[in-house]
Chains A and B, each alone.
Chain A
Amino acid sequence: MSKTVAVQLQVNGATHRLEVEPRLLLVHALRDNLGFTGTHVGCDTSNCGACTVHMEGRAVKSCTVLAVQADGAQITTIEGMASDGQLHPLQEAFWNDHGLQCGYCTPGMIMAAAALLAENPNPTEDEVRHGLEGNLCRCTGYHNIVKAVLDAAKTKGATVAQQPEVTA
């Protein structure tokens, strides 16, 4: 193994210190090193968006970020979206509207949608469709995903990630 680098990640409010190879992707650090397996990998060209997480409040494709680049950053993953057993409005809307089938793209889709609503709390259908074009879904044909995002936008609290203020 090549030289490792010390990295500190704040994931869903908790601090994690780890030693990583400089080439380790953030998505693998989250999944393999820290066990946040809700974030998925669907391609190797940053097209599918299954790996979308929030870094410092912005949606990033964590397959395109090195763990070392995320040193010191606040990361939110799908596991950080529900708090105290209360689903995030987007999670609730995806459930209500059948916005998922196999569920593989869903965490990335929800994280991308949350970032979209944070920037644009009342999007049109067209804005939702263009806002999610970096996330691929093969099951739903997008119909119910778009519906879910539009429905979530009508719900109070949909524009913030419900990240608990916890430090470990």
Chain B
Amino acid sequence: MRTASSALRSKDLLGIEPLSPEEITLILDTAEGFKEVSERPVKKVPALRGQLVINLFMEASTRTRVSFEIAEKRLSADTLNFSASGSSVEKGETLIDTAENLMAMHPDMIVIRHKHPGSPKMLADRLPASVINAGDGAHEHPTQALLDAFTIRERVGRLQGTNISIVGDIAHSRVVRSNIHLLTKMKANVTVAGPPTLLPMDIEKMGVRVVHSLDKAIEGADVIMMLRIQLERQGKLTIPSLREYYNTFGLTPERLRRGKEGLIVMHPGPMNRGVEIASDVADGPWSVILEQVTNGVAVRMAVLYLLGGAHMEGA
């Protein structure tokens, strides 16, 4: 394993915002090494043997939870999945009490997904375990941004100077915030696009270009990242109808053909086919959506290794 910019400064991964470009590069470089592990007949390395990782998923998740669990198992960690339903949370236990009770069983790392922004920090401030944010409300989803960057680096060859357009429900997306932090730190050019009702105030102060047209977002882009439109937004004063959304911001092959040669399309999932993305695009030659999922395991292995395993090896 590479040890150039050898370690992360924090015991936790709460977001991309606190990371330096060197730390981001370290994680991505480390993930490259781990990607190969998943392609072996015996998909396992002993890096986290004897370590306990708790996956504390207080909000529904399939992709992220499964991806973390696979990453943990491929690193030989002991894993335990805890979800809000059917647990003490339903009996009214607070997040802090839940976490402190789990902590009393000495986990080395806690992976948390929660609908409320800042909850991973709440745990990180109080617990000795390493806390990994697997998505906190509309705040951050750092491992998603890292796997996106890994995929862009693999497909486009670099991050610096790459033109990336993120389209859709910018206001309610943690993926977009983590991606903006990461991509601007790595000197990529980021455009966000969507109707003004789905763009949060002062988003341009995060260092991005704002457009309200899908065609403008596609023009000159190397990467189009589509965001899911939450179906429940319909009729909530943000978009008049899903039909109208598809007509104005739905990504179709016709629109993509006006874009740059070699343009790739990404989506963090879960997709709403026929709402933000046409099936011909999702399943078409532009799509790297399933590669993102594959890379997610490698990136999460890198994060788990750097937070939990690297310092053990050095000791």
Query: Are these two chains actual partners, yes or no?
Result: no
